[in-house]
């Protein structure tokens, strides 16, 4: 609960490192993805209900950005999927740069989940 209290109404950064290794060639490709998250000013009562329900117990940052009830996040700059735990478009780009053929880019899935177009997908996927 202390983490949620400290994050309330504040911005913070979420970093995820992703590495892909081609075992046949030894080629390694890595990226660090940063997203800035602005938390909303949720009430003590909302925070307590979230904690009592077990919401933060298995979350690295103490919250789930995708939680439909608590909705702790006001806005995100960067990759939404990164804040959830795995920046899919970034991983897709690394894999395709290594020669892995993937039929469907993840941007459509992110768009469907978000209910809007991902503002960074095109830049991530196509440079």
> 95, 106 in Cβ contact below 8 A?
no
Among the ranges given (10-24, 31-45, 101-115), the one the predictor scored with the smallest mean pLDDT: 101-115
Sheet holding 28-39, edge to edge: 11-21, 28-39, 73-77
> 76, 52 in Cβ contact below 8 A?
no
pLDDT of residue 101: 92
Can you give the pTM of this predicted structure?
0.88
Q: Find the radius of gyration of the CA atoms of the chain.
A: 17
N-to-C CA span, the chain: 39
- Top CATH class of 2-126 equals alpha beta
pLDDT tier for residue 110 given thresholds of 50, 70 and 90: confident
């Amino acid at each position: 609960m202390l983490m949620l209290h400290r994050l309330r109404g504040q911005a913070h950064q979420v970093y995820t490192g992703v590495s892909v290794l081609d075992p046949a060639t030894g080629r390694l490709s890595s990226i660090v993805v940063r997203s800035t998250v602005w938390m909303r000013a949720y009430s003590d009562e909302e925070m307590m209900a979230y904690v009592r329900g077990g919401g933060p117990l298995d979350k690295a940052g103490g919250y789930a950005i995708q939680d439909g009830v608590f909705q702790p996040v006001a806005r995100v700059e960067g990759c939404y999927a990164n804040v959830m735990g795995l920046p899919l478009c970034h991983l897709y780009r690394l894999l395709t740069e290594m020669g892995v053929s993937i039929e469907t880019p993840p941007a459509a899935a992110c768009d469907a989940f978000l209910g809007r177009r991902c503002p960074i997908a095109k830049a991530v996927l196509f440079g």
